[in-house]
Structure 1
Amino acid sequence: MTLLKTNRRDFLKMAATASGGLLLGFHWAAAEATASELEVVRASALAAGEIPFNSYLSISPDDVITIFSPNPELGQNIKTSFPMIVAEELDADWSKVHVMQAALDTKKYERQVTGGSGAIPHSWERLRKAGATARHMLMEAAAKKWNVPVASLTAEKSVVFHKESGRKATYGELATDASAIAVPTDVKLKDKKDFKLIGTAVRNVDNKEMITGKPLYGLDFYREGMLFAMLQRPPAFGTKIKTIDVSAAKTMPGIVDVVTFKNNIAIVGKSTWQVNKARKAVKVEYEAEGKLESTADHDQLFKTLLDSKDATVVSVKRKDGDVDTAFKSAAKVISREYQCPFLSHSPMEPMNFFAHVRPDGVELVGPSQTPDMARNETAKLLSIPPEQITLELTRLGGGFGRRLKADYVLEAAELSSIIKAPVKVIWTREDDMTGGSYRPAVRYRFEAALDAQGNLVAYKLRGVGINAGNCTREDNFPSGAVDHLLIESVEHKSPITTGAWRAPITNFLAFAEQAFIDEVAMAAGKDPVVFRLALLDKAKTSPVGAIKYDIDRMKAVINLAVEKSQWGKKKGVSQGFSVYFSHRSYVAQVAEIEMKKGKPVLQKIHAAADCGVVVNLSGANQQVRGGVVDGLGHALYGSLTFKDGAAEQKNFNAYRLIRMKEVPPIDVHFVNNGIDPTGLGEPALPPTGGAVANALFKALGKRLYNQPFSKQEELKGVALGERM
């Protein structure tokens, strides 16, 4: 298949129709776009490529509205939500909106990144202003044409109306005249209560192409004359090539070359089948560069570092009050430890990228969450200016943080520079699983001190992570609600590569924190929800140190989850609660377990989310449900272990993922507080493990301290997710 490319010049040709039209450019580089940054560009100028701004809203005479979407699309629905925001302020007919993926262009775009759940918060206001400005200019054009005041006009579904005279005109009919209107210095945005499109359920703009198998993804991309390549990488972290024999592989059908660079062996050929077959014929021996780490080593290391008194190793992240004194005088002390394993990102589409390194420049095509970083690292690798590199984005078949890195892009670029030909590097599932950038393995120790009345007076947390950086979130709840608090982090450097995994750090930390708080509440003799609300009230009335979370927003999702789940009111149902703040948003969850034939069955999960204004109700629902399923599946089953530096799980036959029949009904509700959007790609995942673990304790009377749950003694023989 050939990927249908839509580049900047194609867009200009489409927009610059012979009969004229309006194309409005809006600037993405400033924190808040102003009307002075918006400019009308006539069709003749467009054809010549004279476009001074970064992103473009066009209205053609045939009423088609087109917008470039600059951010990488990996399933977070940004390619649908961005144009929805513009269309809302434009009062556009959504059926006439056409969306196009923008290529990388740092002169025109800011934050051309997918990660951190930050795309909508970053672009919300500038997108609204772009739509509102175009709408105003169209109405100005109609007012001049009909010689009536602009205030007497209304607009709806791409049509301007003058109700008094009964006249109307489509946006396409007005577009050419509107291009002569001066861009307003200021425009009034809609009151959010007047939104008609935002907040509704809108289908993903790529649905039809995805369902019918149209070429959208990196693996679909094909360029006539390009070669295919797969790499033989070291089977264990911390090893290097000792001897190689590629003679047999080189003589196999379809093989063009076998190249060794850095610590890799690239097999290059005319098809993936031929290349993969030849790779198996390569004979290579590896040797260790140092100690090869195993999971058993890490288990011992965690215990040692949790007890370390070495100030050069232990990093204090936050300290409030006098923790030591508070613990010495406490009426009761609770201490627990929690541990999680490495996890593979396992996106449905394995890593791949196309590169063509030419004397006059470099062309890159493929799926990346950080295209600018990929280009800059390629420029550094090849010792050329970044301006000599173009990068075209395809849709991403999943990422979850794995595609924040550029290693697979650099492989393609370096190989192309060596073989002097266009090449597409493709990873297999085994490559992805064994040579990946994993979610770090971490162990936490929590300690809490209660007074005689069951009040939380002191709190300690130490985290130890394998290549995890700071494995705590020192300013998250309950920080600020406890008089005496100590948060510490320890990092062990390892050859095993790690990286951001969906909801970095909080994906497990939230489970540990929320399970521990439940246990502390029980020791205090208090309902776990009441216990959390009391801590939040204390943080509001008597804050200790910095408060980095919104207390009222957190309380709102708690109260909504309590209401929708009928917390504590259902008979025969064991409910577990969890609430978490991450990536500027808040999610509370209640998991419900019923005993069926003597076994616990997860019957439902209620989720209450506050992400500010919900742009696309369909997309938001799926983001929450997807986050819950991701959090549940990895809490139950996710585990990647190492033996002598090598991953022991190499494919899905050994690396367990959640199955459809194990997913319970998920009841989703949103807090409608009218604030600007705050992100939703990650916040629904962290609370899930805690809610399920707390429900399991109520059902079985057994606490879970490690993930995956399915491997713990407490759950042996339990098919938790499989409903009967």
Structure 2
Amino acid sequence: MNNSKTTYNRRSFLKASALSGGGLLLTVTWLSGFRSADKMEALNLTEQWTEINGYIHITADNKIKLICPNPEFGQNVMTSLPMILAEELDTDWKNVSVEMGPHDNTKLGAQFTGGSNSVRMYWKPLRQAGATARQMLREAAAQTWNVPVSEVTTKAGRLSHPNGKSATYGEFAGKAATIPVPKDIPLKSPKDFTIVRKPTKNVEGTKIVTGKPLFGLDYRTEGMLIAMIQHPPAFGMKLKSFDSAEALKMPGIKDVFSIQLYADGFEQAGFDTRTFNNLLVVVGASTWEVMNARKKLVVQWEAAGDVKDTMAGRDGKREVVVPGALESSGSQMSQMQEYAKRPAQLLRKDGDPEAAFKNAAQVIERTYNAPFLAHNTMEPMNFFAHVTDEKALLVGPLQAPGWIEPTLTKLLGLPADKIEIQMTRMGGGFGRRAYGHYLSEAALISKKVKAPVKLIYTREDDMTYGIYRPMYTATYRAALDAEKNLIAFHVKGGGIPEHPIHANRFPAGAVDNYLAEGWQIPSNITIGAFRAPRSNFNAAAEQSFLDEVAEAAGKDPIEFRLQLLKRAKENPVGKNNEYDPGRYAGVLELLREKSNWNKPGNEKYNRGVAAYFCHNSYAAHVVDMVTRDGQPYVERVFSAMDCGIVVNPDAARNMVQGAVVDGIGNAFYGALTHKDGVAQQNNFHNYRMIRNNEAPKSVEVHFVENDIDPTGLGEPPFPPVFGAVANALYKNKGKRFYNQPFQPEIEKAM
């Protein structure tokens, strides 16, 4: 057994035992400081609890319920998290259910879904909660049966003793609530898992396929109005004036007005990103009526000029000037090319790369470019708000309720305990819903009209608003000696408005002479986290370049990477290398085996490989490409992952498969461009997405088996897809492609 030591006292661990029908409610935390939190009343629990994160409710009829802290957007945490709990509780899975908890930063923490952190963050706390509940139930049974607790065993939600006595957990739940909380909790060894690591169907699967109202757009309440915002047509513009006379004559329209999102000098937190501050709002009875009324608005826009924002930070507040130019993609690329020639910020330096390049027998240099990308979640931004002078209720899809709550308290002038945020299932997130501007907008609109309101973005509103994946470029250089050994590596990358470089990742630590530099150009085109931020570009460029270097060195691309990783493991260069070379090599070795790399039977395929480390996990793919009607298609993919213990193989496999399809689509087609500040793509008719017939026929996923605590999985499979596609495309077309998306480049070459 693994021992997990805790210091909970009885009052902090559980506060109530008189639950309906007799039951036990537990919660576990790694945070300190407790206070009452009225928001949990939404769960209809008899008494309140003072701890944070996962809640266990055992009823007299032996049902076990977990209050899920993290918002769900398809990564299946509403199944995986209760699996962790049920494992240590030693209960029957069919008796376990889960509900989404409301936001409560006292009891449930930040409740952030993102950064591939959900299972990783809650792995130990939920195990502790389950193990503690199980121990208290054993002690309750031992006291009742007058036997040593060591003789009481559990299995599938039942307590048993060799003398023949047996009972369900529910029968002892009430008594267990009176047991002092143990300080040292034995946790199961992974070899004894019976629920974790078993393929388990999505607990919300039936609701999803039968169309139950789970999403923010489904939410309805009596008297609810619909609101939409008319944004400026271009980045760098703002509202000057408007005439709403005709719009107000339209059926169902209640009001048209302008409001300011952030007051002058408002101190923005890190995820308070917003593109437009002066909002022109139309409010009416239905979505259709509001959409039609917006068309009747007569609006004048003007140049916004440079805008000064006040940003909060660890070192105090700072002022940032957002440029006011009307930017175009062509001029942005020219500017990036010019910036790339300038001295840049030094991010890491090992050895003497300048001398190594000077004395090299061969130098390989390549530049890679990628455009802005839109998140394009299937459910556009929306949120419900009902704000009064005394309190606020907000309901909808978001990834980070804990980050938006402080902003709402300032905007609405209400204390946090008077603001209730309920999370619905999200129709996609990918980082976009970590930015809560649309929630703040809904709240201010409701406050203005003194009515419950649902704010809805159309697809066009959403796609042209901003908060994109940045526009990136990077130049890679490699130096080879006379024996074709890699002796120096240099990456210099930049972007609008941030650079993409992770300086301490592979091949840092594997090359004696290493240099990483970065630069960035400010812009009024807003950006945000996009599935595996920065990594999604780095992996594409780096893994494409490593293939070229391997070819120049006359080495197999997998073997070339493995040799570098062997060096990083046995004799690492420098400090602060983020990755574990052994685990990195492990996914490549597993992939080589499962894909039958360099073995007969694959002659019909143009094969490309790539691997990458991010979010504490390791991913590698082999992409098999064919030509169909003159067009390259990815027909099959082999994937290898090391993300530690895989809680739910079904969900994990689905996440990898989804990341592969998403990566292929973005590599071939993803691009958002601008002309004079205007987004040139505004819906799926001109923002190309991968189609069903373009998806691979099979994605075979394999996991490295180990007992390491779970690490990230939502994001790590995504970045190396781009590089694997690029390397397969080289084999297919006989030339390298350096600019994403690849499809326009392919068509130019035809």
Q: Give the structure-1-normalised TM-score.
A: 0.92
Distance 2:178 2:606 in 1: 66
Report percent identity of matched pairs.
49
- Alpha-carbon offset, residue 209 of structure 1: 1.5
- Alpha-carbon offset, residue 182 of structure 1: 2.1
Change (3 A) 1:132 1:458: same
* Pair 1:355-2:357 in alignment: no
Q: Which amino acid aligns with 1:560?
A: L
- Alpha-carbon offset, residue 296 of structure 1: 0.6
Distance 1:601 1:369 in 2: 34
2:90 maps to 91
Q: Which amino acid aligns with 1:271?
A: S
Equivalent of 1:531, from 538, 554, 560? 560
1:201 maps to 199
2:704 maps to 671
**Residues matched between the structures, number:** 688
Change (3 A) 1:100 1:15: farther
Distance 1:454 1:294 in 2: 42
Equivalent of 2:445, from 391, 415, 425? 415
* Conserved? CA contact 1:28–1:108, under 8 Å: no
1:329 maps to 359
- Alpha-carbon offset, residue 144 of structure 1: 2.5
* Pair 1:433-2:435 in alignment: no
Distance 2:48 2:68 in 1: 20
- Alpha-carbon offset, residue 143 of structure 1: 2.2
* Pair 1:442-2:472 in alignment: yes
* Conserved? CA contact 1:246–1:282, under 8 Å: yes
1:477 maps to 506
Equivalent of 2:661, from 621, 629, 643? 629
* Pair 1:287-2:321 in alignment: no
The superposition leaves residues 35-71 of structure 1 with CA deviations (integer Å, 9 ceiling, x where unpaired) of x99xxxxxxxx96634222242111001110111111
Distance 1:620 1:715 in 2: 38
Distance 2:82 2:92 in 1: 12
* Correspondences of 1:462-501 after superposition (within 5 Å): 462-468=492-498, 470-501=499-530
Change (3 A) 1:47 1:222: closer
Distance 1:440 1:679 in 2: 22
Distance 2:424 2:450 in 1: 24
- Alpha-carbon offset, residue 534 of structure 1: 1.0
Distance 1:199 1:297 in 2: 51
- Alpha-carbon offset, residue 325 of structure 1: 1.0
- Alpha-carbon offset, residue 222 of structure 1: 1.4
Distance 1:523 1:413 in 2: 58
2:531 maps to 502
Distance 1:424 1:632 in 2: 35
1:659 maps to 691
Distance 2:645 2:142 in 1: 33
More off after superposition, 384-393 vs 326-335: 384-393
- Alpha-carbon offset, residue 110 of structure 1: 2.3
* Conserved? CA contact 1:29–1:108, under 8 Å: no
* Pair 1:301-2:335 in alignment: yes
2:620 maps to 588
- Alpha-carbon offset, residue 649 of structure 1: 0.7
* Pair 1:710-2:743 in alignment: yes
Equivalent of 2:549, from 509, 513, 520? 520
* Pair 1:234-2:209 in alignment: no
* Conserved? CA contact 1:587–1:610, under 8 Å: yes
* Conserved? CA contact 2:17–2:178, under 8 Å: no
The superposition leaves residues 342-389 of structure 1 with CA deviations (integer Å, 9 ceiling, x where unpaired) of 111000110011122211122221111111111111222234433332
Distance 1:437 1:120 in 2: 26
The superposition leaves residues 50-94 of structure 1 with CA deviations (integer Å, 9 ceiling, x where unpaired) of 422224211100111011111111111111111110000111111
- Alpha-carbon offset, residue 179 of structure 1: 2.1
Change (3 A) 1:635 1:219: same
Distance 2:390 2:563 in 1: 65
Q: Which amino acid aligns with 1:170?
A: T
- Alpha-carbon offset, residue 227 of structure 1: 1.4
* Conserved? CA contact 2:110–2:401, under 8 Å: no
Equivalent of 1:382, from 403, 412, 415? 412
* Pair 1:274-2:289 in alignment: yes
Distance 2:503 2:221 in 1: 49
Distance 1:549 1:375 in 2: 35
1:148 maps to 147
Q: Which amino acid aligns with 1:364?
A: L
Change (3 A) 1:16 1:75: farther
Aligned-CA RMSD value: 2.1
1:7 maps to none
Q: 2:591 is paired with a residue of what secondary structure?
A: helix
Q: Which amino acid aligns with 2:590?
A: L
Q: Which amino acid aligns with 1:25?
A: T
The superposition leaves residues 487-529 of structure 1 with CA deviations (integer Å, 9 ceiling, x where unpaired) of 1111111111111111111112101100000001111111111
1:551 maps to 581
Q: 1:710 is paired with a residue of what secondary structure?
A: helix
1:184 maps to 182
More off after superposition, 268-277 vs 386-395: 386-395
More off after superposition, 343-352 vs 595-604: 595-604
The superposition leaves residues 603-658 of structure 1 with CA deviations (integer Å, 9 ceiling, x where unpaired) of 21100000000001111001111111111110011111101101111100111111
Q: Which amino acid aligns with 1:22?
A: L
Distance 2:214 2:615 in 1: 29
Equivalent of 1:256, from 235, 254, 257? 254
* Conserved? CA contact 1:28–1:109, under 8 Å: no
1:62 maps to 61
2:215 maps to 217
Distance 2:667 2:18 in 1: 53
Structure 1: gaps spanning 5 or more residues: 1-11, 38-45, 718-724
Q: Which amino acid aligns with 2:707?
A: G
Structure 2: gaps spanning 5 or more residues: 1-13, 36-43, 261-277, 305-323
* Conserved? CA contact 1:464–1:490, under 8 Å: yes
Distance 2:560 2:506 in 1: 13
- Alpha-carbon offset, residue 15 of structure 1: 9.4
* Conserved? CA contact 2:19–2:46, under 8 Å: no
Distance 1:450 1:714 in 2: 34
1:620 maps to 652
Distance 2:417 2:738 in 1: 51
Q: 1:688 is paired with a residue of what secondary structure?
A: helix
Q: Give the structure-2-normalised TM-score.
A: 0.89
Q: Which amino acid aligns with 2:566?
A: D
- Alpha-carbon offset, residue 28 of structure 1: 4.5
Distance 1:48 1:72 in 2: 24
Q: 1:458 is paired with a residue of what secondary structure?
A: strand
* Pair 1:27-2:29 in alignment: yes
* Correspondences of 1:39-118 after superposition (within 5 Å): 49-54=47-52, 55-118=54-117
Distance 1:526 1:148 in 2: 68
- Alpha-carbon offset, residue 286 of structure 1: 1.5
Distance 1:23 1:302 in 2: 57
Q: 1:668 is paired with a residue of what secondary structure?
A: strand
* Conserved? CA contact 1:113–1:370, under 8 Å: yes
Distance 1:303 1:22 in 2: 63
Distance 1:123 1:500 in 2: 22
- Alpha-carbon offset, residue 545 of structure 1: 1.0
The superposition leaves residues 450-506 of structure 1 with CA deviations (integer Å, 9 ceiling, x where unpaired) of 1111111111111121122x4111111001111111111111111111111111111
Distance 2:394 2:662 in 1: 31
Distance 1:567 1:714 in 2: 29
1:579 maps to 611
* Conserved? CA contact 1:242–1:286, under 8 Å: yes
* Conserved? CA contact 1:710–1:716, under 8 Å: no
1:720 maps to none
- Alpha-carbon offset, residue 194 of structure 1: 0.6
Distance 2:127 2:339 in 1: 50
Distance 2:473 2:30 in 1: 41
Change (3 A) 1:506 1:242: same
